[in-house]
Structure 1
Amino acid sequence: MRKVTPDPPDADNASPNEGPETQKRDEATNRNDDDHHASFADIRATPRTPCTMYIVNPEVDVQTLLGSVSESLASACVITMDLADRETGTSRNTLLGIFEIIMLAEISVNRALDQLDPIE
């Protein structure tokens, strides 16, 4: 006849929380905790390699950058209003709220541009 229940654990490994599998998991968890909680000094010591996929030329002046942002925000305003015109109800109200946020950002950027190069 076949035995249904397993043998009891050895006296050395009496605790259900301790075993070879648990020790391996605990070591891996500790390593992950160490990696996850790197100190500020460790982070600063790591050389920074910026992603070159969307890099902005570091020699571009602030006025050019703000002009580009202004144009992007103006485009986002047009897109948002176009979508809002096609919607009704709460979706329309949400899009109009997003439009207002974009519009305020555009006004702020344009104000910064005016301060950099005032119209005389």
Structure 2
Amino acid sequence: MFKPTPNPPESESTSPYQSPDSKKLHGAAERALDHYLKPSASTQQNHKPSTMFQVAPDQDNESLLAHACESLASASIMSSDIAAHVDSPQRHTILAIQQVIMLAELAVNRVLDNYEIHQPPSRS
């Protein structure tokens, strides 16, 4: 059978760490990433999460999911209302945001549909 394209030339697999320059470059890149992406230990120790807005720890999952579903439905309606008053480029962006909200709402609704309510055992 005739192959219309030739096989690529065989080349040795070379590691990017073979030359001293590439090792230096890799080290510099790692240090730069660590500087910007890894917080220092002192920063992590001093960070306390804000408790201004927090969910009560005794809330059950069904109530939390129902509230999330209602919030997503409200956000969807608000974005739809805003999109009606905005012109083309921004309107498309707002409608895309609304679609993301609706997809999240569908996912939460599915979880609620699949959620089994644990009822306490009946006393007989």
Is TM-score (shorter-chain normalized) higher than 0.5?
A: yes
CA distance in 1, matches of 2:39, 2:76: 41
1:71 aligns with 2:73: no
SS in 2 for 1:92: helix
Q: Distance in 2 between matches of 1:48 and 1:87?
A: 41
Partner of 2:103: 104
Following TM superposition, by how much is the alpha carbon of 1:52 offset from its aligned partner in structure 2, in angstroms? 1.8
What's the C-alpha RMSD, in Å, of the aligned pairs?
2.6
Could you tell me which runs of 5 or more consecutive residues in structure 2 were left unpaired when the two chains were aligned: 1-34, 118-124
Q: Distance in 2 between matches of 1:79 and 1:52?
A: 28
Count of aligned pairs: 81
Describe the superposition over 1:83-115 as per-residue Cα deviations: whole angstroms up to 9, x where unpaired: 001112111111110000000000000000111
Shift of 1:37: 4.9
Question: Quick one: distance in 1 between partners of 2:102 and 2:55?
Answer: 24
Distance 1:97 1:114 in 2: 26
Aligned to 1:55: 54
Cα offsets for 1:32-55 (capped at 9, x unmatched): x8xx7534xx94xx4874422101
Give the fraction of aligned pairs with identical amino acids, expressed as a percent: 38
Show structure 1 runs of 5+ residues with no match: 1-32
Paired with 1:117 and 1:57, the residues of 2 have a C-alpha distance of: 22
Point out which structure has higher relative CO (alpha carbons under 8 A, 6+ apart): 1
What letter matches 1:38 in structure 2? S
Superposed displacement of residue 116, structure 1: 0.5
- Determine helix, strand or coil for the equivalent of 1:95: helix
Which structure is larger by alpha-carbon Rg, 1 or 2? 1
Provide the TM-score with structure 2 as the length reference.
Answer: 0.56
